[in-house]
Homo-oligomer: A and B are copies of this chain.
Amino acid sequence: YTQGIAATKMDWQKTLHNWQGRISEELDSVVDFWLRHSHDKEYGSVGFLQSFFSKVWMYSRLYRKVPRFQRPELLQAAKAGGEFLLRHARVAPPSQKCAFVLTRDGRPVKIQRTIFSECFYVLGLDELGRATGESHYQREALTMMEAIVHWVREDPSELGRPQLAGAVPHDSMAVPMMLLNLVDQLSEGDVEVANRFKELDNWSAQKILSHLQRNGAAVLENVSEDGKELPGCLGRQQNPGHAIEAGWFLLRCAMRQLNSGLQSQAVDKFMKQPFRSGWDPEHGGLFAFQDVDDFCPTQLEWRMKLWWPHTEAMVAFLMAFAQTQDQELLELFHQVANYTFAKFRDPELAGEWFGYLSQEGQVALTIKGGPFKDLFLGFHSPLPPSLPPWCSCSPWCTLHQGQLVKEPSLGPEWEDTILLSTFHL
């Protein structure tokens, strides 16, 4: 990563300006790719296939924040998607529980027994309300938010997971991370809402910090409900990309709360440290999973390099650099950005990136979209003003004998369905 090391000696403003150009170009072609390939022509007014929530959010956010995307077709698509959600996402009102996958005409295919579909519903509708100026979308998002908080902090029974006598309760870092992200979304520019969720904001940050274990030397994905390390491989599980993402959410929380101590922890313990321990010294790139004691993880894909930890690390390091002006963060940004652009970008078919590489950095899956990969901007946060939003993600398209083939059909599970939300891995 000589380019990254050399960059420390360069004028960082010039370097960032260069990256701005490259990222901006990619963003344009990625959005164009999805506009071309993922919209549902047949049910045109309804929206677009796959990963609904995140696209409602994406198109709305692009429209609202990035002048060159202030195009009527983006807002129309977002709004059609939002209306579809309002009509079909909730499976059995008055319950707030949402489907994870719907058919093209709105019938539920799959329901997850978690909070994540509902969280993406909140993100999508709140942002749509902001982009359109129609506040009823935001009111709906806040109503769903109350249900989510109730499930997490009071009573999860509506989620439908049976309580079994032998199941050991544990905290997964994904839940408070998601809540921080929602608070960030909902409270933008709204003091009243920010105050309403201030306690939740603190609670979520503390919950995430409880995953920092071993005297601050490691972020663990799962801990006990009282914040202790768990025995076994579940307790030893690490996901470096997820830790860095948590760092970004914690940093945003520190910014909201003007908490410099939290900022340092976010940057040092949730970004720099997991990046260093999660980076493959042999082939470069971040491992998908690790075991804190260096045992072998049980996930078959643990050695693979996935797109989202890399694009999210770019987001995290730039955001942290913007806050701290710490040159080391710029170096880390360079390291991950160079790897990411060299390996995940499709040199033949600009428009969308590959998502899954072998440990050695070879393309392992040629799909451009899939059950867990679609269009989703990782960058919805204030950035160095010279940098545009940044796209972390990817329709059901595959490369077939060198040709981009739009998947004719995805099977009863996916085909004719609209995947309501995605949650990586």
Contact = CB atoms under 8 A, between A and B. Distances in A.
Given A367-B298, A399-B296, A234 B414 contact: yes
Contact of A108 (B164, B236, B300, B410): B164
Chain A, interface size category, equals 35 or more
A109 interface: yes
B371 A298 contact: yes
Interface string A100-125: 01110011111100000000000000
A381 to B, nearest CB: 29
Oligomer: number of copies? 2
A235 B416 CA distance: 14
B102 A410 contact: no
A359 to B, nearest CB: 8
Nearest to A410: B232
B162 A111 contact: yes
Interface in A107-166: 107-111, 162, 164-166
A interface majority secondary structure:
loop
A233 interface: yes
A365 B302 contact: yes
B414 A233 contact: yes
A364 B303 contact: yes
B300 A304 contact: yes
A326 interface: no
A234 B410 contact: yes
A191 interface: no
A301 interface: yes
Contact of A107 (B108, B164, B237): B164
A411 B295 contact: no
Interface of A: 91, 99, 101-103, 106-111, 162, 164-168, 170, 222, 230-237, 293-298, 300-304, 356, 358-359, 364-367, 370-371, 398-401, 405, 407-415, 417
Given A295-B407, A296-B367, A298-B371, 18 more contacts: A102-B166, A107-B164, A108-B164, A108-B167, A109-B166, A111-B164, A231-B408, A232-B408, A232-B409, A232-B410, A232-B413, A232-B415, A233-B411, A235-B411, A236-B411, A295-B400, A302-B365, A303-B364
